[in-house]
Structure 1
Amino acid sequence: MNFWIGVKPRVKAVRLTTAQALIRFLNQQYIHVDGQEFPFVEGIFTIFGHGNVLGIGQALEQNEGHLKVIQGKNEQGMAHAAMAYSKQMLRQKIYAVTTSVGPGSANLVTAAGTALSNNIPVLLLPSDTFATRQPDPVLQQVEHEHSFAITTNDSLRAVSRYWDRVTRPEQLMTSLIRAFEVMTDPAKAGPATICLSQDVQGEAFDFDESFFTKRVHFVDRKLPTLRELNGAVEIIRASKRPIIVVGGGAKYSQARDALIELSEKYNIPLVETQAGKSTVESTFKNNLGGLGITGTHAANQAARQADLVIGVGTRYTDFATSSKTAFDFAHARFLNINVSRLQAYKLDAFQVVADAKVTLEQLSLMLDGYVTEFEDDIVALKRIWLAERDRLKNVVFNRDKFVPEIKGQFSQDVLNEYADALQTELSQTAALIAVNETIPPDSIVISAAGSLPGDLQRLWHATVPNTYHLEYGYSCMGYEVSGTLGIKIAEPKKEVYALVGDGSFLMLHSELVTAIQYDKKINVILFDNAGFGCINNLQMENGSGSYYCEFRTNDQKILKIDYAKVAEGYGAKTYRVNTLEALKEALVDAATQRVSTLIDMKVLPKTMSDGYDSWWNLGVAEVSENERIAQAFTNQQQKRMQAKQY
């Protein structure tokens, strides 16, 4: 038993403000992954306001340490950039984000939800109202009659993996340690939010000096148990046509080589989620591409034939499972490999709660003698899909007889109207494939919302691993340009391209200015079809008319916007294109530029790719005067009867 005799030794203390202690702590956080050790916090994005400029701002000005400080232009935008940085770095490095109180903090909610849905660690440091409450209500403070303890930052509780409010300096110590435990845990990774009362940021405290010593967060690969491995081997050996669903967890685990070895050795096809795409390059012979609603015909056919679905690091979202109709649930079994117990339990699967890479390596050794019954079917499925991709590459507009990929009720006359207004005959699929074939192979592409994620998952050939960056856990419009900045910070030697629709660009593109300000060259390829084209397709496919999704003036003329002029005003190099030849010339020239670029490309609506053997469960009106909507509801009900219920 240990006990003190006489006077207890005095703990060595250092007197710092709460904000100074925060910055000093961030500089001492390291991560250890696969034998390598490096700082976990690379820097901090900030927009200073009255809530943080005199606290965190003063602390950074006094001694920022190794932290790189980047001035953002919109709180949501800079948080998206921080998230994209972490995602591109495979969750092994982060940027922190600090904001002022009120609107600044509220602007983090969308970004926090995006990071939470994608399981991406990011440290959010919104300022809060006075802990003393003496000057209440301070500028930008909301008031609730039933509780003065509620502030704007409470809105972040629902979209944070960890949330805390610091109202005393000494609370910072336990709060930060808990936040970093969460952010460095592969099973729980997500946004950690620590709200900092603005008066407490400047308040001093005698912190224990040991709190600021180097702290290493070890990310050890969780090994599968013998029970889990034996059970998985038994299930796989009993299957004849298994498939492997490659999710984002496989990418973060860096399981590329293990996936290829297992697939080649036993002739098992790979299909990808949006987060998993480019874990294994598209050119790998057994990679059938995207699964589900935005998937390829080849992947969806293989999924429907599968008697075993091996999910590797996937959340099984509705888009990946076609709202739980992608598989033959009556006859297929599920085997899930995931570091998250929650995700491993999905679809009533046999669970292997372990690291993807080490589990696949073990399974490859234990399955000797096993072979699937696919034989040459994988190659045949891929060949048929590549022919379809070639067809989409060569879609040509014909003013007299053009059949768009998704017709709905869009008439030929309306298509001709768009061709005249936008001065283009360029199809979206042809333009996208042209981009894919023109830019450097190691370039990184990013997108998030609208119809582009579908075209990208189906048509984009990622020939180099980890060059496809899609935010589709939240499908957050406005992520694209901000995220491209974050990726460029993570990959400064590579060309980075935001593929963004005009709707998403209008939603948020302020960090293009930040990219120009800090000489972080990014490329924005803007697909302008004068509207929210994806949702316009959705409403028309389900019986409605084209209602408030096109960008039209009050007199119903198509809105024509010169996006190149907007970006030119910021200082970007810009291009205007409406033909494949002009697009390719612009791409070649943009790659030679040192400043950020924007290609304002006009494309025709209704020229994106359609779904292949997939279905999406939607809330279609049960009662309507429109017969087409009534029929759409009937169709939905019939499909719901076929869907798995849990």
Structure 2
Amino acid sequence: MTVAQALVEFLGRQYTVDRIGTEQYRERLFPGMFGIFGHGNVAGVGQALKQWQATDPTLMPYYQGRNEQAQSHQAVAYARHTRRRATYAVSTSIGPGSSNLLTGAALATANRLPVLLLPSDTFATRAADPVLQQLEMPHGYDITVNDAFRPLSKYFDRVTRPEQLFSALSHGLRVLTDPAETGAVTISLPQDVQAEVLEVPEEFLAEREWRIRRPEPEAEDIARAAQLIREAQRPLIIAGGGVLYAFAQDELAAFAEATGIPVGNTQAGVGVLPWDSKYSLGAIGSTGTTAANALAAEADLIIGIGTRYEDFTTASRTAFQDPNLKFVNINVAAIDAYKHGTSVPVVADARKALIALREELTGYRVEGALEVRTAEEKQRWDATVDAAFAERHAPLVSQNAIIGAVNGAMDARDVVVCAAGSLPGDLHKMWRVSDPYGYHVEYAFSCMGYEIAGGLGIKRAALDEAARGAAENRDVVVMVGDGSYLMMHTELVTAVAEGIKLITVLIQNHGYASIGALSESLGSQRFGTKYRTLDKQTHSFDGEQTLPIDLATNAESLGVKVIRILPGEHVIDELAAAVAEAKAAPEGSGPILIHVESDMLIDAPSSESWWDVPVSGTATLESTQKAYETYSAHKARQRPLLG
């Protein structure tokens, strides 16, 4: 068989096995493959997929996409929703087809999410040289476009001889299924090698299981962590995405209930506790709640569980102000467990570590004053969000009220999706989540254009769950601003082609609201962030005349059902009704887009926190001078080394 035929059959027979407590789960590692064909893969992987479609279409189902980057986003979103038990492979042509995957590779690796990228490459034999779209480098003729994947991938290999396929896939899947190392795995496939014939051992094509490792904590580490917790007066848990990937949310709830230690969560950790849990302070850091940030400032011990401590989480290292602060970090990845000069790094599975730590702390509970403080700050923030959701501006409404209306119209099991712009910060603060799968915001790379493609990947995972009887179906609601929509909305066509019911709430505010607000706070007066006609005399886009674009009609032209909500006094009620109408549509009816306009100048409630973005140290603009004074004051509170 050819290299490509062996590749496809091999991928179709790979499974992950995962044990959570007494339950064991087994599922296909690759439920399918995305691909856009061109020279490089049309006669290789494309031929192999077609051949299997004719003989056994269940082995490796092929799915179309409209952009290679969007295909990788679908795969990553699928992986996150399945808690890294499954993902998709993505095949591309050479040249621009391959380089379109670079952003997807960076996103996957930054988020620690598995995706298998199979970019085609130029001829290994150089028989036809240079070929169309080949990159020629005079100082290194073996360099191709695909070498750009090396720093973006957790594993990279190039199969220049057919026999190399065996080890390349073995090493690649080892990394792909490793919770501590996972990310983008890129295997570069020269187009001539894909079509070459080789003898393939039967054992290579047999079914294989890849066990997801769940390492136990060291007893000494647990004992030391428990001692620090007992000695602390004001401990605080920061829960990240690692809690969810370890299926540890129930153990975290039991731990908080037993000890009384409050919990703040990162973007990836939203859903670790229901929003109304008495121990949940909600989001922490630059886009956090005042409740979580107030207790973080006073904490003398931070217990980080499954977090990589992004700068938003630590408010650029200003969130923690106790001079004697210590860290206990529980993480499956050593790079995160040792961050911030941790006093006790626990390199282990989050669920197993929480079980061991709760047993070690039998009889322990925080002082009553901390529980009272937790309840007071939580009540204050909940009232703040209630007021924001109740805002009624006209004719243009606030994004706060839009979020509240959508949140209220969705069921607890439904999933909200977002990635970039002002929405992620506002959702992190205010979105009320009851289900651990209910919140999916890509914020490690915060990639504009991820939203619709990512939502499609999540919906695929939800439909697969329902088909297996593993869970009831979920509606997936993408919330996206006009900026991100314009970056990449083409996968709506994919949803139309497959009849996938994906609900999109498109918020039109005629600009980049998030960066506009940031620009204003830095003294740059929202420069270059509005969608306006060009004043050629001043070469400015800062006028009041908005562009005559109609994104609702754009979506309709792609075959999407569109619900338009016009500005006025009843926008919020109409929006809630539109979401309910979209949810009532039957599965298989295709995508639905709800178009609503908002006022970008109405801010979300303050986090009473900070994010470090440098301000010009000298400037002639008075606005920049004032911004620098504010920046310097915040900078004085920054701690270069924590722990």
Q: TM-score range by the shorter chain?
A: over 0.9
Contact 1:279/1:466 (<8 A) preserved: no
Aligned equivalents of 1:545, 1:228: Cα separation in 2: 50
Contact 1:573/1:598 (<8 A) preserved: yes
The match for 2:516 among 536, 540, 543 is 536
**What SS is found at the alignment partner of 1:482?**
helix
CA 1:148–1:610: 2 relative to 1, 3 Å: farther
1:205-253: CA deviations, max 9, x gaps?
Answer: 1122221222211113100011111111111111121111110100100
Contact 1:329/1:644 (<8 A) preserved: no
- For structure 1, which segment, 434-443 or 177-186, has the greater mean C-alpha deviation from structure 2 after superposition? 434-443
1:37 and 2:22 correspond: no
2:438 is matched with which residue? 467
**C-alpha displacement of 1:147:** 1.4
1:322 and 2:310 correspond: no
2:48 is matched with which residue? 59
**What SS is found at the alignment partner of 2:632?**
helix
Aligned equivalents of 2:255, 2:412: Cα separation in 1: 26
Aligned equivalents of 1:59, 1:389: Cα separation in 2: 54
**What SS is found at the alignment partner of 1:216?**
strand
Contact 1:44/1:67 (<8 A) preserved: yes
1:389 and 2:385 correspond: yes
Contact 2:480/2:505 (<8 A) preserved: yes
**What SS is found at the alignment partner of 1:271?**
strand
2:624 is matched with which residue? 629
**What SS is found at the alignment partner of 2:137?**
coil
**C-alpha displacement of 1:542:** 1.4
1:352 is matched with which residue? 346
Unaligned 5+ segments in structure 1 are 1-15, 399-423
**C-alpha displacement of 1:473:** 0.2
Task: Output the amino acid matched with 1:216.
Answer: E
Contact 1:485/1:522 (<8 A) preserved: yes
User: Could you list the runs of 4 or more consecutive aligned residues of structure 1 that deviate by over 6 angstroms after TM superposition?
Assistant: none
2:469 is matched with which residue? none
The match for 2:6 among 21, 26, 37 is 21
- For structure 1, which segment, 112-121 or 360-369, has the greater mean C-alpha deviation from structure 2 after superposition? 360-369
- For structure 1, which segment, 207-216 or 438-447, has the greater mean C-alpha deviation from structure 2 after superposition? 207-216
2:408 is matched with which residue? 437
Aligned equivalents of 1:425, 1:501: Cα separation in 2: 15
Give runs of aligned pairs for residues 20-419 of structure 1, distance below 5 A: 20-34=5-19, 35-63=24-52, 65-349=58-342, 350-373=344-367, 374-397=370-393
Task: Output the amino acid matched with 1:61.
Answer: K
**What SS is found at the alignment partner of 2:117?**
strand
Contact 2:408/2:576 (<8 A) preserved: no
Aligned equivalents of 2:584, 2:253: Cα separation in 1: 35
**C-alpha displacement of 1:554:** 2.2
**What SS is found at the alignment partner of 1:115?**
helix
Contact 1:434/1:584 (<8 A) preserved: yes
- For structure 1, which segment, 388-397 or 521-530, has the greater mean C-alpha deviation from structure 2 after superposition? 388-397
**What SS is found at the alignment partner of 1:168?**
coil
1:514 is matched with which residue? 494
The match for 2:583 among 591, 594, 605 is 591
1:8 is matched with which residue? none
**C-alpha displacement of 1:106:** 0.5
Aligned equivalents of 2:116, 2:180: Cα separation in 1: 17
**C-alpha displacement of 1:261:** 0.7
Aligned equivalents of 1:524, 1:261: Cα separation in 2: 35
Contact 2:304/2:330 (<8 A) preserved: yes
Contact 1:273/1:320 (<8 A) preserved: yes
- For structure 1, which segment, 471-480 or 579-588, has the greater mean C-alpha deviation from structure 2 after superposition? 579-588
**What SS is found at the alignment partner of 1:113?**
helix
Contact 2:114/2:183 (<8 A) preserved: yes
**C-alpha displacement of 1:591:** 1.1
- For structure 1, which segment, 81-90 or 361-370, has the greater mean C-alpha deviation from structure 2 after superposition? 361-370
Contact 1:254/1:279 (<8 A) preserved: no
CA 1:503–1:364: 2 relative to 1, 3 Å: same
Contact 1:484/1:522 (<8 A) preserved: yes
The number of aligned residues is: 606
Contact 1:338/1:355 (<8 A) preserved: yes
Aligned equivalents of 2:293, 2:549: Cα separation in 1: 38
Contact 2:179/2:213 (<8 A) preserved: no
RMSD: 1.2
Contact 1:275/1:469 (<8 A) preserved: yes
**C-alpha displacement of 1:630:** 2.1
**C-alpha displacement of 1:494:** 1.2
2:560 is matched with which residue? 572
CA 1:130–1:329: 2 relative to 1, 3 Å: farther
Aligned equivalents of 1:591, 1:124: Cα separation in 2: 34
Aligned equivalents of 1:110, 1:592: Cα separation in 2: 35
Aligned equivalents of 2:562, 2:426: Cα separation in 1: 24
Aligned equivalents of 2:371, 2:454: Cα separation in 1: 41
Aligned equivalents of 1:546, 1:378: Cα separation in 2: 37
**C-alpha displacement of 1:614:** 0.9
Aligned equivalents of 1:118, 1:454: Cα separation in 2: 17
Unaligned 5+ segments in structure 2 are 464-472, 536-542
1:452 and 2:426 correspond: no
**C-alpha displacement of 1:329:** 5.0
**What SS is found at the alignment partner of 2:506?**
strand
Aligned equivalents of 1:313, 1:640: Cα separation in 2: 28
Contact 1:160/1:191 (<8 A) preserved: yes
1:232-286: CA deviations, max 9, x gaps?
Answer: 1111111121111110100100111111111011111110100000122212121
1:170-191: CA deviations, max 9, x gaps?
Answer: 0111000000000110000111
CA 1:382–1:560: 2 relative to 1, 3 Å: farther
CA 1:476–1:329: 2 relative to 1, 3 Å: farther
CA 1:610–1:538: 2 relative to 1, 3 Å: farther
1:425 and 2:419 correspond: no
Aligned equivalents of 2:504, 2:25: Cα separation in 1: 34
